[in-house]
Amino acid sequence: MKIEEVKSTTKAQRIASHSHVKGLGLDENGYAIQSSAGLVGQELAREAAGVVVELIRSKKMAGRAVLLAGPPGTGKTAIALGIAQELGSKVPFCPMVGSEVYSTEIKKTEVLMENFRRAIGLRIKETKEVYEGEVTELTPVETENPMGGYGKTVSHVIIGLKTAKGTKQLKLDPSIYESLQKEKAEMGDVIYIEANSGAVKRQGRSDSYATEYDLEAEEYVPLPKGDVHKKKEVIQDVTLHDLDIANARPQGGQDIMSMMGQLMKPKKTEITDKLRKEINKVVNKYIDQGIAELVPGVLFIDEVHMLDIECFTYLHRALESTIAPIVIFATNRGKCTIRGTEDIVAPHGMPMDLLDRVMIVRTLPYSQEEMTQILQLRSETESIQIEDESLQQLGGIGVRTTLRYAVQLLTPGMILAKINGKDNVGKEEIEEIDKLFFDAKASAKMLQEQEDKYLK
């Protein structure tokens, strides 16, 4: 068995602005390591986020809210993504931006509720009865067609299944024969049939046939152990929003009204409160019976100052409901008017009564040294070779302007270096790029100086 040739099945992701963030970078005692898991500095904010992660894991956090507040480019989104990475793929993480709620098709509160439900997972454990084994015989038994005519129909199928423990002969319904044909199951294949639904799944060819051909396009699986008829536990992860969607679109009958309904249906269906309550009832019943468990996840609302006063009052109710995720807000505004009001000025553009409920985590501007470390991380992620001296210089530009501007200069610097026939980005390239582009502050200064030349 060769190990070297095995390629990872995870897709190579395109590089996004936060693809270097792999977690919060805390040690086992919950203290932040200065530069770890793609995050640099912001020790206090990261330690606070670590406490939030622990609360989520112990399921003691539902219905609380956290606010990440700080100037632009201080790593608020990066910390939220770090929390998502720490929680792992099984805990739902639903990111959204404040302005998403202003959709023309559905109500603002509906968008919020939809995202709330997306951030709550349900882990369902099912015990299924299955017949599993290698097919030893497959004979359809035909009878005369009861409708008359010459054709024959399949009345039932005799199938033999073999496992390491023994064999069994089953008599199956003709509809299962059709799904056997769809799965292209034949003698020597390992299949399993669900007893209650009659679903057939072909797992592969039995490995006793493995040396038949020199070249083969088959996947070989070992002969199943245990009995042919057994109970199997299946775990399924869904979000409450998936359940809402599945039940909001009724699979209409063949009558003309339901056909018309499907044609006339608007692009997006609003899910009624009544339906959600019914689903909650079923979910609670499942939880009481121990079939399912709730996995409250994280709803991350970036640019929260974009929400208006109606959304904020709705959030109060949503945060208090029995089934609620952890809500993380992020904003880079100081004191500003709350959207939807004329003259109410509040910190972060959020009403005071909602601010009372949230735990606020501050992110602070980076020092030059931290900026240089972040730029080094980004250059490694984007595979750009850059000299240490140039990194220091870029760090200086970052302090003068913003971190985002400095990060954006990396790739153009690389292109200039290639034009100049170099492998590394040097000092000259950084100086030239800085002359070519303006940052926001320099541009504003120039506009002020040449005010008379621009249109009012």
pLDDT tens per residue across span 245-272: 888 766 555 556 555 665 665 556 678 8
CATH 3.40.50.300 residue spans of the chain: 35-119+297-362
Provide the pLDDT for residue 263: 62
Distance CA 169, CA 139 (A): 11
Assign a CATH topology to domain 122-289.
OB fold (Dihydrolipoamide Acetyltransferase, E2P) (2.40.50)
CATH 1.10.8.60 residue spans of the chain: 368-451
Assign a CATH topology to domain 35-119+297-362.
Rossmann fold (3.40.50)
């709620």: which residue's tokens?
101
More confident residue, 111 or 228: 111
DSSP secondary structure code for residue 425 in this structure: B
Judge contact between 300 and 96, C-beta under 8 A.
yes
Provide the pLDDT for residue 11: 43
pLDDT tens per residue across span 283-298: 889 889 888 888 888 8
Token readout for 165 is 């423990």
């735990």: which residue's tokens?
359
Provide the pLDDT for residue 330: 93
Provide the pLDDT for residue 10: 42
Answer yes or no: is pLDDT of 2 > 50. Answer: no
Provide the pLDDT for residue 304: 92
Q: Name the class of domain 368-451.
A: mainly alpha
In one-letter notation, the amino acid at residue 165 is K
C-alpha separations of 320 from 64, 65, 136, 317 in Å: 9, 11, 58, 5
Token readout for 183 is 């799965």
CATH 2.40.50.360 residue spans of the chain: 122-289
> Length of the chain, please?
456
Answer yes or no: is pLDDT of 372 > 60. Answer: yes
How wide is the angle at C-alpha 78 spanned by C-alphas 53 and 339, nearest 5°?
A: 95
Answer yes or no: is pLDDT of 299 > 60. Answer: yes
Cα 47–chain centre separation? 24
pLDDT tens per residue across span 164-208: 888 888 888 888 888 888 888 888 888 888 877 778 888 888 877
Which of these, 68, 82, 100, lies nearest to 350 by C-alpha position?
A: 68
C-alpha separations of 282 from 235, 245, 317 in Å: 18, 15, 22
Distance CA 326, CA 84 (A): 12
Q: What are the two backbone dihedrals, phi and then psi, of residue 127, each rounded to the nearest 5 degrees?
A: -105, 115
pLDDT tens per residue across span 324-348: 888 999 999 989 899 888 888 999 9
Which of these, 190, 179, 194, lies nearest to 231 by C-alpha position?
A: 194
Helix (H) or strand (E) holding 35: strand 35-36
Q: Tell me the longest C-alpha to C-alpha distance in the chain.
A: 96
Answer yes or no: is pLDDT of 9 > 60. Answer: no
Judging by DSSP bridges, how do beta strands 65-69 and 358-362 pair with one another?
Answer: parallel
pTM for this prediction: 0.72
For residues 23-40, average pLDDT: 86
Convert 152-175 to b/e letters by CB count within 10 Å (16 or more is b): eeeebbebbbbbeeeebebebeee
DSSP string computed for 299-355: EEEESGGGSBHHHHHHHHHHHHSSS--EEEEEE---EEEPBT-SS-EEETT--HHHH
Distance CA 195, CA 131 (A): 7
Token readout for 235 is 């775990």
Judge contact between 326 and 52, C-beta under 8 A.
yes
First to last CA, the chain: 73
Provide the pLDDT for residue 331: 93
* Mean pLDDT (the chain, rounded): 83
pLDDT tens per residue across span 377-404: 888 888 888 888 888 888 888 888 888 8
Distance CA 122, CA 125 (A): 10
Judge contact between 194 and 179, C-beta under 8 A.
no
For residues 51-72, average pLDDT: 83
